[in-house]
Amino acid sequence: MTNLDILKEKYFFMPDATRGAVRYLTTKQLEETGTEAIVTNTLHLLIHPGPDVIQQLGGIKKMMGWKGIVFTDSGGFQLFSLLHSKKWKGKVSENGATFKSPKEGNTYELTPESSIDIQMKIGSDVLVTLDDCRDTGLSRADAEKSVERTLKWAVRCKERFNNEYGGTKKTGKLLTCVVQGSNYLDLRAYCAKELSKIGFDGYNFGGYVIDKDGELVVDEMSAVIENVPKDTIRYAMGVGKPEDIVKASKIGYNLFDTVLVTRNARHGTLYTSQGVVRIKNSEMALDQAPVDRECNCECCRNYTRAYLHHMLKNGEATALTLLTIHNLTFYQTLIKGLTLL
Ligand SMILES: [Zn+2]
């Protein structure tokens, strides 16, 4: 048992600290929202400042002054979507991917082994295996290929984690995997079963969680949950809207993240106990109520909708901080409510 086993027993919502920071928040402000775990982006941190720099600085937690839990992604989801959409140049092979970062022009290689090495250098608590993530609407043949490659890479990641670093026993860290299979329920179930045989601390729903109509892919998500062990992390990656988190929790998922919570805050779209409030709307200009009367965050305790409306309209960075604090507090309160169910 490591202290991270709590991740298998409770509901968690992780804001995205993509480059080792949640935009507009200090680490203390982040803690005050009730956040206990964050997820960082391996691909971005690989490019800047680079895993060696992070390691020399004592790891991401020391850099951030963060005492909570840190997840890393494998870098795969973002990289493969950038490569498949041809936004970045590179090549995917049986061994992983080579690619060029458009900004710096440097060439990188991401393999199952290097993905684990990078995540170890970043100093995350919970690592994710590299998976072969594809676009939506895959043909059956391509979905099968993606599953087979994902399984092979999962084995290689686990071997690297165990042989090079001594696994969970020596590191105290957890290793989770990603279940692929696109929209084919039998492939989702097969991938989940095969990964369960290999054995991981967590099973993450990979690929796209929302269909073309914006609906949660409930059947695919259920096919995965029905075929993984219960006492594990069950991470619905990229979920999502508050109502989708509630839906996914009922299926059996216990861990969530989405960029929506912070991104929407910055655009003035706020989640409240009375539904969505758009702070930029003209009727907010004279509204002296807090964003949400039910909320006890720094933003709602001290400021009116009218003041926030004024600040946001004028591009004041303080508004971005306060609105992010509110949205994140709303999500953490929602999650704590699920714990009681
Ligand atoms: Zn609030």
Q: How far is the centre of ligand 1, averaged over its atoms, from the C-alpha of 322 (Å)? A: 8
- For residue 16, give the DSSP letter: B
Q: How far is the centre of ligand 1, averaged over its atoms, from the C-alpha of 197 (Å)? A: 44
Q: Catalytic amino acids?
A: 73, 257
Q: Are residues 158 and 299 in the same domain?
A: no
Whole-prediction pTM value?
0.96
Q: Are residues 105 and 217 in the same domain?
A: yes
Q: How far is the centre of ligand 1, averaged over its atoms, from the C-alpha of 299 (Å)? A: 5
Q: Tens-of-pLDDT digits for all 341 residues of the chain?
A: 458 999 999 999 999 999 999 999 999 999 999 999 999 999 999 999 999 999 999 999 999 999 999 999 988 888 888 888 888 889 889 999 999 988 888 999 999 999 999 999 999 999 999 999 888 889 999 999 999 999 999 999 999 999 999 999 999 999 999 999 999 999 999 999 999 999 999 999 999 999 999 999 999 999 999 999 999 999 999 999 999 999 999 999 999 999 999 999 999 999 999 999 999 999 999 999 999 999 999 999 999 999 999 999 999 999 999 999 999 999 999 999 996 55
Residue 214 lies in a domain: yes
- Out of 258, 275, 297, a domain closes at 258
- Out of 258, 277, 309, a domain closes at 258
Task: Reply yes or no: is the peptide bond before residue 112 cis, omega within 30 of 0.
Answer: no
The angle at the Cα of 257, spanning 252 to 258, to the nearest 5 degrees, equals 125
Look at the chain and report how many structural domains it folds into: 2
Of 182, 181, 117, whose CA–CA distance to 151 is shortest? Answer: 181
The rounded distance, in Å, linking the Cα atoms of 174 and 250 is 24
Q: Which residue has the tokens 């860290």?
A: 173
Query: Residue 292: left if φ>0, alpha if ψ -120 to 50, beta else—which one?
Result: beta
The rounded distance, in Å, linking the Cα atoms of 246 and 58 is 37
Q: Which residue range is the domain that position 287 belongs to? A: 266-330
Tally of CB atoms within 10 A around 273: 11
The rounded distance, in Å, linking the Cα atoms of 48 and 324 is 24
Cβ contact 263:23 at 8 Å: no
Q: How far is the centre of ligand 1, averaged over its atoms, from the C-alpha of 327 (Å)? A: 7
Q: How far is the centre of ligand 1, averaged over its atoms, from the C-alpha of 139 (Å)? A: 45
Q: Are residues 309 and 172 in the same domain?
A: no
Residue 226 lies in a domain: yes
Tokens of 289: 């109520």
The CA R_g of the chain, rounded to the nearest whole Å, is: 20
Q: Are residues 236 and 134 in the same domain?
A: yes
Burial of 308 (0-12, 13-18, 19+ CB in 10 A): buried
Q: How far is the centre of ligand 1, averaged over its atoms, from the C-alpha of 128 (Å)? A: 32
Burial of 36 (0-12, 13-18, 19+ CB in 10 A): middle
Tokens of 211: 């269909």
Tally of CB atoms within 10 A around 41: 19
